[in-house]
A and B are shown apart, each in its own frame.
Chain A
Amino acid sequence: MINILWFIIIIAGLIIAACTGNMAHISTAIFKAISDSVNLSIGLLGPMAFWLGIMNIAEKSKLTELIGKLLRPILKYIFPDVPVDDPASGAIVMNLTANILGLGNSATPLGIKAMQELQRLNNYSCKASFAMCTLLAINTAGLTLIPATLISLRAASGSEEPAVILITTIFATLVSTISALLFDKFFRIFSDNNH
């Protein structure tokens, strides 16, 4: 699927650019993508090393299992296929916590860690398991209770009340997260169960 999508996006972009006379911007955009990818990855390198280091301690000390057991009721409901005492549960909880607290830089490494743990339970199949789809749905929906980046951006642009968007953001993020979970459950009907 991603194969076709990638092709379509690039070809559509090139054709539209050719028709609209935007071709000059395309090469600039490609070179910008190349350098941006390096900047993004380097920006991710530190948080990634740091959080996987911390998570390794949490895992080896069996703290992740403990967290998973503590949050069993919630996890059992959202991720019925994941054993609560599996390291995957702990990693999922850490990822969700980082999201909710608005720690964007930390949420990504923890989410990747959780995804890798789920992939282990998925027997390293190339097809996403239902649990992986659910975790991805929550992460793309951007569940957060503290939009820290936005509040500081608003403060920086001279807002009188930078945190006034807190309620509206929480409302919108709850709507998108709940609909993500519902859509995820709904589309499972059309998804075959085999790996």
Chain B
Amino acid sequence: MPAFISIISSWSIPLIIFLIISYGFYKKINIYETFTEGAREGIKTTLNIFPFILAMLIAINIIQASGAMDYIIRGLRPLTGFLKIPEEVVPLFFLRPLSGSASLSYTAYLMEEYGPDSFIGKVASSIQGSTETTFYVLAVYFGAAGIKKYRHSLIVGLLSDIAGFFAAIFICKLLFL
């Protein structure tokens, strides 16, 4: 299985590039100029979304540093105990939608502490791998498009994170316990 995955990982990008460039060349497009023109747009877009990334990171870092999460986790202990969720992975539930780097480093910490092949290591990896950083995606994607009214997007993103979190714990219990 890992060999198969590494083949897909290493072949997919070169293959996509090969296909797109060859098709452009076949259609007699000045691919070099078209590429650089698009790349310039990419730089502009990155600069445009910078303020959104900054605003979001400030809010997220403040709430993380405030220690609010410890209190929420402590408050939720009866509930997580009742649902038999391993206490160690509960912080991931809050970190994952907020910050990709924070949740990845917490996952790395859990693997170091309990071992990557322990039950906790497997649950943490599954949670980390199965959902995205909802707040980042929301701020960046909608920021780049100039959207100010999100409709129901935030609630949908968070509800699906919750669904993914419980699904990861459920399937890990089923397969690894």
Binding site for B on A (CB under 8 A): 1-2, 5-6, 9-10, 12-14, 16-17, 20, 22, 25-26, 28-30, 32-34, 36-37, 40-41, 44-45, 48-58, 60-63, 97, 101-103, 106, 108-109, 111-112, 115-116, 118-119, 124, 126-128, 130, 132-133, 135-137, 139-142, 144, 146-151, 153-155, 157-177, 179-180, 183-184, 187-188, 190-191
Query: A136 to B66, Cβ gap below 8 A?
Result: no
Query: A13 to B29, Cβ gap below 8 A?
Result: no
**In the bound complex, how far is the Cα of B66 from the Cα of A25, in angstroms?**
7
Q: Which residues of A contact B176 (CB under 8 A)?
A: 168
Closest CB of chain B to A85's CB: distance in Å? 16
Query: B1 to A173, Cβ gap below 8 A?
Result: no
Closest CB of chain A to B163's CB: distance in Å? 4
Closest CB of chain B to A24's CB: distance in Å? 9
Query: A153 to B107, Cβ gap below 8 A?
Result: yes
Does B82 belong to the interface (CB within 8 Å)? no
**In the bound complex, how far is the Cα of B116 from the Cα of A144, in angstroms?**
21
Q: Which residues of B contact A116 (CB under 8 A)?
A: 45, 144-145
Query: A146 to B45, Cβ gap below 8 A?
Result: no
Q: Which residues of B contact A159 (CB under 8 A)?
A: 111, 116-117, 121
Q: Which residues of A contact B117 (CB under 8 A)?
A: 159-161, 164
With most chain A CB atoms within 10 A of its CB, the pick from B57, B63, B125, B165 is B125
Q: Which residues of A contact B144 (CB under 8 A)?
A: 112, 115-116
A-B contact pairs, 25 of them (CB 8 A): A5-B154, A10-B58, A16-B67, A20-B67, A20-B71, A22-B67, A34-B54, A36-B101, A41-B47, A53-B35, A56-B34, A61-B29, A126-B146, A128-B147, A140-B160, A141-B131, A147-B128, A147-B129, A166-B1, A169-B126, A172-B127, A172-B168, A173-B131, A179-B163, A183-B160
Chain B interface extent, by class = 35 or more
**Which A residue's beta carbon lies closest to that of B163?**
A179
Query: A150 to B128, Cβ gap below 8 A?
Result: yes
Please name 17 further chain A to chain B contacts, defined as beta carbons within 8 Å, in addition to the given A50-B39, A128-B147, A153-B125, sorted by A numbering.
A25-B65, A52-B39, A55-B38, A56-B41, A58-B20, A112-B145, A136-B142, A139-B137, A140-B161, A142-B130, A147-B129, A154-B121, A155-B2, A159-B111, A170-B130, A175-B163, A180-B163
